[in-house]
Chain A
């Protein structure tokens, strides 16, 4: 006999049912409980907590499917490990699927069968959205983006002020009074987005990109209304919110009449806007979307900017953001850039699509209730960094930067964390 569902639980189950297409059914039915995936997950590796094994996460979502959609699960639930969507199951879902998964996808690449674990986890998170069970910090980040236009709630005036003094700094640095950080200019080729953490905490990364655009003589602008590259609704599982934020960017692109949307160094933002966004709004973008990493690589290839690697002499390693690399296909461009911009480069092991998550993805940085786990899970990345002997860690993702800066302190790594843009700007040769 199945337990009676509350109104919210029924709503969550209805959402689950509405997602049952071929892909979802496939991944719900594929796991064979071989348990070999544990060692692919930084949470399990760092904590050895069995609940954090990817197979357990898959089983948690799969058990609901089996209970409500399979013959054996309906009539012999214990035989196949089918579970009611009750308070106990839901509590475990919140704790494990929000609190112990960054949806990095490393387990999927190495899964014996090929189960798309992040896809299942995100769908389950969407169920939790229906029950208003998104952890507070993550929900407030989503709310800030929806209500204020950026996830840090930066007032527009404050943002404009920041851009103005950064522009003055740029003019002094390049000794050109005409150098600018264009704001809300129509008809430019590029609309450049930012992670709101940049104007708030890391304005130098904006300066770095402005310098690169200046050197490349790029036609670009920043919207002071809609500039946020992040989309935390992707992490929370809130499809409505995700659609709304995507739609705003599309409208701003149209308003400014720009032809290319350039995504700042942000892993999940790149994934959300480039790969998921068109599916949330259910149509193709009428403009090109490209990451700033591809833009910089193109400037170097085409000779639009010149770099002097001798300006970056320290040993530099690269952290691959999961959403940009494994789930975004930007694998070699950042390596091409670094090999042109620095003298000494060393890879982490493993790297590229096999990289370990730093632990900052999945909305973890916004969920303070899981801080301890997040830092613990970052030990794998800290060990990787230490093994390289590098003095600088470059990474094209602001979430990763935040997490790596924390790991740098917690694990006493003694490194500097930089964006790719900052390293390139430092190596720029201005005519």
Chain B
């Protein structure tokens, strides 16, 4: 039988899931744009490339010019996905090997440091500070806090109730702030891949001339 905290968590998660699904299907159901022009390339390989080669630090300028920030962002996001996985493990009280728990907790602490460093950069660099709104800070703090709390809960299961309440807040905030990019990142890459694929720009052709 679930505890009251688990029910609260499930309620928050359900609201988040339904809200995200509504937003996702709103975009998906409108389909890819109808394009009457004659295509020069293929869209499927381009969409695949959009998620793979085009994201690579060797191709993406925003990555290779800002490698520390890019890597911090990658680790932060991997930590978040690991966090969601561990949330399920903890929620259902599934026992994992001790070494896995410890290494996951360490990774979550590292990813939290990455999140924190991105937050500090946002506060210190003028161009980022002026670009930001409260949502940018709240989103980062919520997720970084989630990593820290999760690592603590993995090491000490007694604070599971705190984690569940905190995660509920995170889930309730996710659909209304910039954390929505959880949904739109994927549709954005699809649209971009479609655009460049249709016009024969992506995937990048070999320079064989």
Chain A contacts to B: CB under 8 angstroms: 21-23, 25-27, 29-40, 50, 53, 55-56, 59, 70-72, 78-81, 108-116, 274-279, 281-285, 288-289, 325-329, 331-332, 335-336, 339, 352-354
Contacts and interface: CB of A to CB of B under 8 A. Distances in A.
A220 B209 CA distance: 28
Given A79-B135, A110-B62, A329 B41 contact: yes
A112 B60 CA distance: 8
Nearest to A39: B65
Interface stretch (B4-12, B23-31, B156-164): B23-31
B205 A331 contact: yes
A32 B65 contact: no
B95 interface: no
B50 interface: yes
Contact of A353 (B38, B133, B204): B204
A80 B132 CA distance: 9
Contact of B192 (A56, A81, A116): A116
Contacts of B65: 36, 39
B33 A50 contact: no
A287 B70 CA distance: 46
B192 A22 contact: no
B112 to A, nearest CB: 18
A325 B196 CA distance: 11
A78 B200 contact: no
Interface of B: 23, 26-38, 40-41, 50, 54, 60-63, 65-66, 69-70, 73, 125-128, 130-136, 138, 176-178, 180-181, 183-185, 187-189, 191-193, 195, 199-201, 204-205, 207-209
Contacts of A23: 30, 32-33, 191
A422 B128 CA distance: 46
A40 B64 CA distance: 12
B173 to A, nearest CB: 9
Given A111-B62, A283-B36, A50 B131 contact: yes
A22 B181 contact: no
Given A36-B69, A110-B60, A329 B199 contact: yes
A335 B208 CA distance: 10
Indicate the member of B31, B130, B131, B134 with the most A CB atoms within 10 Å: B131
Contact of A26 (B37, B69, B176, B184): B184
A138 B60 CA distance: 33
22 contacts: A21-B33, A22-B30, A22-B32, A22-B33, A26-B188, A29-B180, A30-B181, A30-B184, A33-B133, A35-B127, A39-B66, A50-B131, A53-B131, A79-B177, A81-B135, A114-B191, A114-B192, A114-B193, A116-B195, A279-B34, A284-B37, A332-B207
In the complex, the 3 A-B pairs of residues with the closest C-beta atoms, listed nearest first = A329-B200, A22-B30, A81-B133
B132 A33 contact: yes
B184 A70 contact: no
A331 B133 CA distance: 39
Given A33-B131, A81-B133, A22 B31 contact: yes
Contacts of A275: 37, 199
A289 B30 CA distance: 29
Contacts of A35: 125, 127-128, 131
Nearest to B121: A35
Nearest to A78: B134
A36 B66 contact: yes
A114 B195 CA distance: 11
Nearest to A36: B62
A22 B31 CA distance: 7
Nearest to A81: B133
B159 to A, nearest CB: 29
B61 A70 contact: no
Contact of A33 (B30, B41, B178, B201): B178
B191 A72 contact: no
A396 to B, nearest CB: 15
A325 B205 CA distance: 12
B66 A114 contact: no
A325 B202 CA distance: 11
Contact of A279 (B26, B35, B133, B200): B35
A115 B35 contact: no
A71 B176 contact: yes
Nearest to B139: A32
Contacts of A55: 131
A72 B176 contact: yes
Given A53-B127, A110-B61, A78 B133 contact: yes
Contacts of B29: 22
A59 B136 CA distance: 12
Contact of B50 (A56, A72, A114): A114
B61 A279 contact: no
A259 to B, nearest CB: 14
B130 A50 contact: yes
A152 to B, nearest CB: 27
Contacts of A72: 135, 176-177
Nearest to B69: A36
Contacts of B34: 279
Contacts of B127: 35, 38, 50, 53
Nearest to B207: A332
Contact of B181 (A21, A29, A332): A29
Contacts of B128: 33, 35
Contact of B62 (A27, A37, A327): A37
B177 A80 contact: yes
Contact of A27 (B54, B133, B134, B188): B188
Contacts of A328: 199, 201
Contacts of B30: 21-23, 25
A80 B135 contact: yes
Nearest to B181: A32
A57 to B, nearest CB: 11
